[in-house]
Structure 1
């Protein structure tokens, strides 16, 4: 079954981190550094964001 393109694309807020999709402004300094290194190295690894960061994620 083929989905229409609009249904197949995941929409992220404009301030979403490219590594973990949490809001960039909710990252702590360690989260910023980890996610920047994740993107720079091309890794697809887990998230180290705090529970507070995850709680601020848009629904």
Structure 2
């Protein structure tokens, strides 16, 4: 089963590529994402706490 999600953010580390013994290429990196919302009382945008995700892509 394959699941897909979308996370918008910034690549926080240099992507690293490596080959598994069976020839599969794997790329890993960290992604930083900070939720934002508009605070109507303050009249400005607010930032939440940054979330860091470990991303692994097999291809």
- The TM tier, using the shorter chain, reads under 0.3
Q: What's the TM-score once normalised by structure 1's chain length?
A: 0.26
Give the strand-richer structure, 1 or 2: 2
Q: What's the TM-score once normalised by structure 2's chain length?
A: 0.26
Give the helix-richer structure, 1 or 2: 1
Q: Report the structure number with the largest CA radius of gyration.
A: 2
